[in-house]
Amino acid sequence: MSRASDRAYAIIRDMILSGDLPSGAKIGEEALAEQCGVSRTPIREALNRLEAELLIRRNDTQRSFVADWSIDDVEEMFELRGMLESRAARRAAKRISWEQIERLKTHHEAIGKAIHATKPDTHSFIEHNHLFHGVILEASASAQLTNMLARIVERPIVHRTARNYSLEDLERSHRQHGELIAAFEHHDPAWAEAVMISHIRRAFHAYANVHIDQRLPDMSQAAE
């Protein structure tokens, strides 16, 4: 891959993950080439990579769109994430070092500050939440889990779930992180696994609630 292709890939991927390119949006190669400052060939190469990562899809006429998922697709994704992350938490509880626990506490503290700012700092929450879970995955010492989770955790849905959290959702997530730290301090695999499963399921329901609310007007209009 060329440098131009790598640059285009990074820019487009960030636009998808941030929501600047929303789910279902049509992707125009010419417009993206102008935005990324490259020709259309690197754009096509970048789109091929993003399609392989399931971030975009192509229809029968080969037009590209940002991938969209049904609520059933989303639930399945969260179920897979729950299975993998709970396994990672269980392994981590047996292997985690005190240095890694201190890093978890640092990110936990930063998340708390982000939540209780005058206006909740969602960007900081997402960043430190990602780093918090990354430490757990690192402590699990499993290359296979790391590779499998990478494609799931980086989906736009995961990023957008946190952006739709209420203050209550943010605080609950923060408390569960605190309980995970306690489980790791006690090196208790069963406890860590149970908390992680609950943590991921709660994240799914936070997403599902917003998904349903956003579709209620459409449903009422259809009934009329």
* Same domain, yes or no: 43 and 92: no
> Which residue is listed with tokens 């509880």?
93
User: What pTM did the predictor assign?
Assistant: 0.75
Contact yes or no for 93/188 (Cβ under 8 A): yes
Instruction: Determine the residue type at 220.
Output: S
90 in the same domain as 51 = no
Q: Say what the alpha-carbon torsion angle 125, 94, 86, 104 is, to the nearest 10 degrees.
A: 0
pLDDT digits (tens, 9 = 90+) for 13-44: 888 877 788 878 898 888 999 989 999 899 99
Q: How many domains are contained in the chain? A: 2
pLDDT at 86 over 90: yes
Full domain range(s) for residue 42? 3-66
Last residue of a domain, one of 41, 66, 91: 66
Under a CB-based contact definition with an 8 Å cutoff, are residues 135 and 103 in contact? yes
pLDDT tens figures, 136-159: 999 999 999 998 887 776 555 666
